[in-house]
Amino acid sequence: MPNILKTRICSLLNIEFPILQAGMGQVARGRLAAAVSQAGGLGVIGSAYMTAEELRREIHYVRSVTDKPFGVDILFGKVNGEDPVSMRYNREIESLIQVTLEERVPVLISGLGNPVGVIAEAHKRGMVVMSVVGNVRQALKLVREGVDAVIASGCEGGGHVGRIGTMALIPQVVDAVDVPVVAGGGLADGRGLVAALALGAEGIWMGTRFIATEEAFAHQNYKNKIVEIDGEGTVVTRAHSGKPVRMIRNRFTEEWERRSSEIQPYPLQLMNVGERAAILGRVEGDVDHGVLPAGQSSGLIGDIKPAAEVVRDTIREANAVLRRWQCVPFEDESVRSAGDQKFFDCSGEPF
Ligand SMILES: Cc1cc2nc3c(=O)[nH]c(=O)nc-3n(C[C@H](O)[C@H](O)[C@H](O)COP(=O)(O)O)c2cc1C
């Protein structure tokens, strides 16, 4: 009998469990990525705010800890503009892409923007390419460009978000594309994993849950805040980067609510305001004035624990759900054929 939790994503990425730790700038460095990969998921280095040399060091760190596959997430959102800030921004992204290709990192993920132009080169080097999308249009475009899988992330999630909620987004993307879909946004435990599979996804992309881990590169105050707040403790604002970002509601978000007309377009707001505020919050631990991206799943997170435990607990919880259901379908002829092969096949055996 097939194992429901062994999906195409596990085969594509060569991982044991369909759990991907989301790329998170300044939070997901080598230590977190290595711990998740070593535990059987896919650990991902979030390269945002790193220099090329820092990224190279983090990649080497992961390789010194584990020989399992891992990824690098790059915000591909290059900008048009001849001004020095835009040109510096584009140069920095270019150098992160270059390092990731040179190092032949097993999985390259575009967190924002379009990796076209890099996909063929990555494939030549034996790398898998995945892209984060927030709607069907983006998913179709990126699949046409040749990405191997898409990560559909709903607006419940932390960090940059689209407008569609996870529950509605995932089945729409699953119906539209033929590559594996990974679900993100608001998922923080085994119930979320099973729900994502039921919607047709083949894995989950969890960010906020992994902030509250021992290995996350985040100030203790930030981790504590994730545990402290409930599901209403976050807000979506352009004040961090110029694009919508979900983050913890605090004095920073309240002040920029009053000054919303002053917010500059991406990436100017990021480079002139957001980068400093991000360091203040995530690294220096000023949880009142800094930028602290987090999703609505914060309300589900009650502890800070090792990343490997997050992976194991998620699988344990998913198993419990599958066992509890025992997946007995209606036998009545009138509803029997309604699901067809297209939907979740409950005949698998849990771990
Ligand atoms: C602290 C933080 C930083 C993030 N930074 C990035 C980033 O640099 N690149 C990216 O693609 N996504 C980034 N994201 C979004 C995540 O990759 C992911 O889509 C999101 O966390 C999933 O939803 P969840 O937080 O509900 O698990 C970030 C999210 C958080 C919480």
pLDDT in tens, 11-40: 999 999 999 999 999 899 999 999 999 999
- Of 131, 138, 160, 173, the one to substitute when testing ligand 1's pocket (max ligand atoms within 8 A of C-beta) is 160
Looking at ligand 1, which residue's alpha carbon is closest to its atom 14?
159
192 touches ligand 1 (CB under 6 Å): no
pLDDT (average), residues 50-57: 96
CA of 6 to the centre of ligand 1 (A): 24
**pLDDT grade, residue 340 (50/70/90)?**
low
- pLDDT reading at 306 higher than 70: yes
- 241 to each of 8, 45, 328, 331, how far by Cα in Å? 34, 20, 48, 53
Would you list the domain boundaries of the chain? 8-217+307-317, 220-283
Compare 84 and 302 and report the one with higher pLDDT.
Answer: 302
Q: What is the pLDDT of residues 319-339, one digit of tens each?
A: 999 988 775 566 666 666 555
128-133 sheet: strands from edge to edge:
19-21, 204-206, 181-184, 149-153, 128-133, 107-112, 70-75, 43-46
* CATH entry 3.20.20.70 includes domain 8-217+307-317: yes
User: What pLDDT is recorded for position 339?
Assistant: 55
User: What pLDDT is recorded for position 324?
Assistant: 87
Q: What is the pLDDT of residues 181-200, one digit of tens each?
A: 999 999 999 999 999 999 99
pLDDT (average), residues 94-106: 97
| Distance between CA atoms of residues 144 and 138, nearest Å | 10
| Distance between CA atoms of residues 247 and 232, nearest Å | 11
- Of 19, 24, 97, 280, the one to substitute when testing ligand 1's pocket (max ligand atoms within 8 A of C-beta) is 24
Q: What is the pLDDT of residues 223-271, one digit of tens each?
A: 999 999 999 999 999 999 999 999 999 999 999 999 999 999 988 899 8
- pLDDT reading at 64 higher than 70: yes
- Sign of the Cα pseudo-torsion (319, 325, 331, 334, in order): negative
- pTM metric for this prediction: 0.93
pLDDT (average), residues 307-324: 95
